Amino acid sequence: MNTKKKPAAAAAGAGTPAGRPEDQRLSLGSTFAYGFQHVLTMYGGIIAPPLIIGAAAGMSSQDIGLLIAACLFVGGLATILQTVGIPFFGSQLPLVQGVSFAGVSTMVAIVHGGGGIQAVFGSVIAASLIGLLITPLFSKIIRFFPPVVTGTVITTIGLTLMPVAANWAMGGNNKADNYGSMANIGLAAATMAIVLLLSKVGSAAISRLSILLAMVLGTGIAFAFGMADFSKVGQGEIVAFPTPFAFGPPTFEIAAIISMLIVILVTLTETSADIIAVGEIVGTKVDSKRIGNGLRADMLSSAISPLFNSFTQSAFAQNVGLVAITGVKSRFVVSAGGLILVILGLLPVLGRVVAAVPTPVLGGAGVVLFGTVAASGIRTLSKVEYRNNMNLIVVAASIGFGMIPIAAPAFYDHFPSWFGTIFHSGISSAAVMAILLNLLFNHFKAGNSDNQSVFVAGTERVVQEQDIKCLMDGDRFENGKLIDCDGKEVRIESAEKASEH
């Protein structure tokens, strides 16, 4: 009789390495509670692109609602693929997928160019398939992402998301009469205060659910003051499955495909950064194979999404911050969030409930979430060696370059459209600059000077060799005076005085 026990890996499931932080399994209730928290965090972001694109295409509110449901449905499926994974597809990391903001302006341009929504869907399919073919190239760049690069990108992700949180806190709609009102900002501040207070509670469960609970309590406060509207929850269909090609078959236009391919390159760059960022936060190994699996899942989801009337898929950076702030690293929690998204896509009534959460409530929670992303990047940058190298300039120039489109959104308006598409994203700008500068200073070292820069000299205290040659064994400093081994004070002269002797 064979009495040998099965290895732990086998018990955990075939093909799943044992001992990884992201493979932690929680109770069913906790899994779905934390998963729902992920959904609330990214809900505003995932419905914004279809709202913008649908409005640009002149769609009715009913058709825009169909687009929103489709984006929720496809985002959920893409999230499950990314977190659970199948051979060659899925990073098996806690990453939430959804419609990428990177392509919104390009899609609007395609719509206004006369191609309509059908040309948008066709360009997404074609460009995503091309992206699927070139993912092996992107998965090989892992060695060019040392902490000086990843820390810079993670910090920039957090900083570039802060305007989103501020806009939400002000009300989300800059054309509304109450945009930026004290009532909206006060509600956001109250929600943020609740997040901080719940985070201080001794109970680990309450602390980890602080974002979700703060949103519930914030919504309750809003309802009490007449700032939450649930009147539309009962309007419309209860169950609705996304109809394939509901707006007609896709059309394929060369110019639209080329424009969308640039968006795909940006998406691949951002997703690579998000995969590395969440790997750093979780504390797990991320190699080129894992990045490749994650990128292929991204591209496959993007290529299939137009079938269900959705758009390009990408990892959501704000949910990376949620992983950091809650400390819940389980990918199965995010899988549960993906399942909730699928249900929301099939049950519009539930989506309308979530949509009733006031935007300022999302803003108050977003300030903490997105700030946590930036703080995680700063923590990574603290591990970087800054002595006798140019890493400080790499960080400074890259973050500064990434902040340009955030500080001045119109900065690239007069640049070629392809250039603006890439660098209008602060995340892409910082990532490209950090990679190039890391290559320039740390890989192609020809021409580097021993006395490299005034910035380098300012990063640490330096004592010249000639200053210590005159010291003897036993010499020491006490109260600002140099004392020799016999306890006698050694006189210190200025350089001018010494030159007179």
Asked if 384 and 145 touch (Cβ cutoff 8 Å), the reply is: no
What percentage of the chain has pLDDT greater than the value 70?
Answer: 85
**Distances from the Cα of 138 to the Cα of 98, 143, 296, 377, angstroms:** 20, 11, 10, 22
What's the average model confidence in pLDDT over 200-221?
A: 80
From CA 212, how far away is CA 38, in angstroms rounded? 9
What's the average model confidence in pLDDT over 87-93?
A: 91
Write down the pLDDT at residue 501.
55
Write down the pLDDT at residue 138.
73
The DSSP-derived string for 27-90 is: -HHHHHHHHHHHHHHHHHHHHHHHHHHHHHTT--HHHHHHHHHHHHHHHHHHHHHHHH-BTTB-
Question: Out of 186-190, 338-342, 375-379, which region has the weakest mean confidence (pLDDT)?
Answer: 375-379
What's the average model confidence in pLDDT over 191-214?
A: 81
Write down the pLDDT at residue 456.
57
Write down the pLDDT at residue 1.
45
Sign of CA dihedral 443, 448, 454, 459: positive
* Highest mean pLDDT of the ranges 218-232, 265-279, 355-369: 218-232
From CA 189, how far away is CA 176, in angstroms rounded? 20
Q: 3-class secondary structure for 361-403? A: HHHHHHHHHHHHHHHHHHHHHCCCCCCCCCHHHHHHHHHHHHH
From CA 228, how far away is CA 239, in angstroms rounded? 24
Whether 262 has a pLDDT exceeding 70, the answer reads: yes
Closest CA to 275 of 444, 85, 130, 454: 85
* Sequence-separated contacts (24+) of 451-458 with Cβ below 8 Å: 452/388, 452/389, 452/390, 453/390, 453/393, 455/392, 455/393, 455/396, 456/386, 456/388, 456/389, 456/390, 456/392, 456/393
From CA 301, how far away is CA 79, in angstroms rounded? 9
What are the two backbone dihedrals, phi and then psi, of residue 315, each rounded to the nearest 5 degrees? Answer: -70, 140
* Residue 70 or residue 64, greater confidence: 70
Asked if 103 and 311 touch (Cβ cutoff 8 Å), the reply is: yes
* Residue 156 CB partners (closer than 8 Å, separation 6+): 377, 398, 399, 402, 403, 426, 427, 430, 431
From CA 437, how far away is CA 122, in angstroms rounded? 36
Closest CA to 178 of 186, 169, 170: 170
* Residue 119 or residue 354, greater confidence: 119
* Residue 264 CB partners (closer than 8 Å, separation 6+): 127, 128, 130, 131, 299, 302, 312
Asked if 274 and 95 touch (Cβ cutoff 8 Å), the reply is: yes
* Residue 205 or residue 97, greater confidence: 97
Asked if 324 and 62 touch (Cβ cutoff 8 Å), the reply is: no
From CA 331, how far away is CA 275, in angstroms rounded? 13
What's the average model confidence in pLDDT over 343-350?
A: 82
CA 94 to chain centre: 12
Closest CA to 398 of 384, 414, 413: 384
Whether 199 has a pLDDT exceeding 90, the answer reads: no
Write down the pLDDT at residue 253.
85
Phi-psi region for residue 245, left (φ > 0), alpha (ψ -120 to 50) or beta? left
pTM over 0.75: no
Whether 359 has a pLDDT exceeding 70, the answer reads: yes
Whether 10 has a pLDDT exceeding 50, the answer reads: no
Instruction: Quote the tokens at residue 14.
Output: 């075939």
What are the two backbone dihedrals, phi and then psi, of residue 237, each rounded to the nearest 5 degrees? Answer: -70, 150
DSSP state of 176: S
What's the average model confidence in pLDDT over 32-36?
A: 89
What's the average model confidence in pLDDT over 352-360?
A: 76
* Highest mean pLDDT of the ranges 375-379, 403-407, 447-451: 403-407
Closest CA to 284 of 276, 292, 295, 294: 276
From CA 108, how far away is CA 113, in angstroms rounded? 8
* Highest mean pLDDT of the ranges 52-61, 297-306, 388-397: 297-306
Farthest-apart Cα atoms in the chain, separation:
96
